């Protein structure tokens, strides 16, 4: 069991995990049948998705809020457009990615930002790990705010790393 505190079943109104049974496992995620006790004392089951990639990091990944700052321009938030197979279409989203082994959330954020957008920036803030969709999965992320100096030569015409299939879009902060 991962990050689960087994409660004393004798405590009334206390919910707790009874068991977790692996249903199927892929390269990135696994599906488990989770049996738990609800507050009324009834045993219930839940289908749970869990990442297979977390190896001791504080979270699975990072979500980056990139703030592009240029002289004589409004600040912009940089978003990426990516095809997402689960919805069969494109999404406009914050750059994001998994944290590699022995990598800090801050280093992962700077790496992912450069890979997906070509921009190089500076860390402004990094949140604690937060749950992404706790009703479905145990996926967690750090939300990292990065400032980008758009006047620096490296950021004037940024290009994503080869192999990345993202397009950059901008939202103006007004």
Q: Summarize pLDDT for 58-76 with one digit per residue, the tens.
A: 899 999 999 999 998 889 9
The CB density around residue 14, as the number of other CB atoms within 10 Å, is 13
pLDDT digits (tens, 9 = 90+) for 98-110: 999 999 999 999 9
pLDDT digits (tens, 9 = 90+) for 130-153: 999 999 999 999 999 999 999 999
pTM tops 0.85, yes or no? no
Rounded distance between C-alpha atoms, residue 77 and residue 146, angstroms: 10
- pLDDT exceeds 90 at position 10: no
Rounded distance between C-alpha atoms, residue 59 and residue 33, angstroms: 22
Rounded distance between C-alpha atoms, residue 131 and residue 60, angstroms: 10
- pLDDT exceeds 90 at position 160: no
Rounded distance between C-alpha atoms, residue 128 and residue 115, angstroms: 23
Name the pairing type of β-strands 61-69 and 140-149. parallel
- pLDDT exceeds 50 at position 2: no
Closest CA to 127 of 153, 109, 102: 109
pLDDT value of residue 56? 80
Two tokens, residue 1: 């069991």
């Amino acid at each position: 069991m991962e990050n689960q505190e087994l409660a004393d079943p004798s405590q009334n109104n206390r919910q707790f995990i009874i068991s977790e049974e692996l249903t199927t496992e892929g390269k990135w995620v696994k599906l488990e049948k989770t049996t738990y006790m609800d507050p009324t004392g009834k045993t219930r089951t839940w289908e749970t998705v869990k990442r297979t990639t977390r190896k001791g990091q504080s979270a699975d990944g990072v979500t980056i809020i990139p703030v592009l700052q240029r002289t004589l321009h409004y600040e912009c938030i940089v978003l990426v457009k990516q095809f997402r197979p689960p919805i069969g279409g494109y999404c406009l989203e914050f750059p994001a990615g998994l944290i590699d082994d022995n990598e800090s959330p801050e280093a992962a954020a700077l790496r992912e930002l450069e890979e997906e957008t070509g921009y190089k920036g500076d860390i402004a803030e990094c949140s604690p790990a937060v749950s992404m969709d706790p009703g479905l999965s145990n996926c967690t992320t750090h939300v990292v705010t990065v400032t980008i100096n758009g006047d620096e030569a490296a950021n004037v015409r940024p290009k994503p790393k080869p192999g990345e299939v993202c397009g950059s879009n901008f939202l103006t902060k007004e």
